[in-house]
């Protein structure tokens, strides 16, 4: 197969929406053996995976930037084999979802899109797995739907304001220059396939999978807008939304939680891990000092069985009270 033939079949609609067809190339289907479904978001289509046996209880896996539901492929396979239904959306502008040119790519909008998808699926109970900026989106849904929330798994993420931001990301946020670097030079999604790993190098085929939806400047609009939307100050559009989410995080102490952290993360450092230990004192916590930001990719053979066992448990008992702390697994693993 030629490089050109391996690219997704994207077309530009008159409305300025970049969209891709559902058929995936054979090489990608071997890595990502799921049939994407479509959820309508106004005139746009949001792609998502729905795998495992039918149920009104599901594990919902929320990705960040610049990944897509591909990041969760091995965990989804393990959970589905254990009898768990899994739902993994691609945020609008990301993955196999439509990539509108003119769209309010904000934290509040992504949160609203996730909420509407889960309402459409009529899920009675949701167990969450969140990574990167999927933490803010997923936890934002959780604090507004505590009655539906079951278990929570936190992977190298933040859902609270923090001034820490690596120099490389600050550069990608610069007006004009940042847009050029992220979209024209692929200076965010491309380097992430190297920088987000630490134990091992990502294989060429897996790297190709991560970059499949982001093969041109037009297709990287969601990647750029995610970077630009990171709230840093009071005047940033998404800061108020993030502050509201952060204010609700202590309510999550009533739910079983697990924190799995790659300690060699250049962005979400141990500082963020320690913040989560304070927010979720009841959690099981696993700190992998030599794993990178893409902890599922870098240390999957170690962490996927742990997460699967945690999420594949039977119907949860009554929520834990904040005072009952589960300390097993804290610190380095």
Q: What pLDDT band is residue 324 in, cutting at 50, 70 and 90?
A: very low
At residue 313, the pLDDT reads 77
Alpha helices in 32-106 (DSSP H): 73-81
Is residue 152 in a domain?
Answer: yes
Is residue 71 in a domain?
Answer: yes
Alpha helices in the chain (DSSP H): 26-31, 73-81, 107-120, 134-144, 167-172, 177-179, 189-195, 204-211, 221-228, 239-248, 270-279, 295-298, 300-311
Q: What pLDDT band is residue 327 in, cutting at 50, 70 and 90?
A: very low
Is residue 26 in a domain?
Answer: no
Is residue 12 in a domain?
Answer: no
Is residue 297 in a domain?
Answer: yes
Is residue 6 in a domain?
Answer: no
Query: pLDDT, tens digit, for every residue of 69-103?
Result: 999 999 999 999 999 999 999 999 999 999 999 99
At residue 175, the pLDDT reads 82
Percent with pLDDT over 70 in the chain: 87
At residue 165, the pLDDT reads 74
Percent with pLDDT over 90 in the chain: 78
CATH number of domain containing 263:
3.40.50.1820
294 vs 198: CA distance, rounded Å: 9
Of 172-186, 217-231, 266-280, 299-313, the range with the lowest mean pLDDT is: 172-186
Structural domains of the chain, count: 1
pLDDT above 50: residue 193: yes
Domain around 38 = 32-311
Of 105, 94, 40, 39, the C-alpha closest to 69 is 94
160 vs 307: CA distance, rounded Å: 23
**CA triple 212-8-89, angle to 5 deg:** 65
252 vs 280: CA distance, rounded Å: 7
Query: pLDDT, tens digit, for every residue of 209-264?
Result: 999 999 999 999 999 999 999 888 888 899 999 999 999 999 999 999 999 999 99
């Amino acid at each position: 197969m030629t490089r050109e033939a391996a690219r997704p079949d994207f077309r530009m609609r008159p409305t300025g929406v970049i969209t891709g067809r559902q058929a995936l190339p054979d090489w990608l289907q071997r890595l990502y053996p799921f049939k994407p479904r479509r959820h309508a978001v106004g005139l746009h289509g949001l792609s998502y995976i729905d795998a495992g046996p039918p149920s009104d209880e599901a594990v919902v896996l929320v990705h960040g930037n610049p990944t897509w539901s591909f990041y969760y492929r091995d965990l989804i396979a393990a959970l589905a084999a254990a009898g768990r239904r899994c739902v993994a959306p691609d945020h609008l502008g990301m993955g196999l979802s439509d990539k509108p040119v003119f769209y309010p790519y904000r934290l509040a909008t992504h949160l609203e899109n996730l909420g509407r998808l889960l309402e459409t699926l009529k899920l009675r109970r949701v167990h969450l797995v969140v990574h990167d900026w999927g933490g803010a989106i997923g936890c934002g849904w959780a604090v507004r739907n505590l009655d539906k929330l079951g278990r929570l798994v936190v992977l190298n993420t933040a859902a609270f304001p923090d001034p820490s931001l690596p120099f490389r990301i600050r550069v990608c946020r610069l007006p004009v220059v940042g847009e050029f670097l992220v979209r024209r030079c692929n200076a965010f999604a491309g380097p992430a396939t190297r920088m987000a790993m630490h134990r091992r190098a990502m294989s060429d085929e897996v790297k190709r999978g991560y970059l499949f939806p982001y093969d041109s400047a037009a297709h990287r609009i969601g990647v750029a807008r995610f970077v630009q939307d990171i709230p840093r100050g009071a005047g940033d559009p998404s800061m108020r939304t993030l502050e509201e989410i952060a204010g609700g995080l202590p309510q999550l102490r009533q739910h079983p939680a697990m924190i799995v952290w790659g300690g060699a993360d250049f962005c979400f450092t141990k500082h963020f891990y320690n913040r989560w230990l304070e927010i979720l004192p009841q959690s099981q916590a696993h700190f992998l000092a030599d794993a990178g930001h893409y902890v599922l990719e870098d240390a999957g053979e170690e962490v996927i069985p742990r997460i699967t066992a945690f999420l594949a448990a039977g119907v949860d008992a009554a929520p834990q009270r904040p005072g009952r702390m589960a300390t097993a697994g804290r610190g380095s693993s």
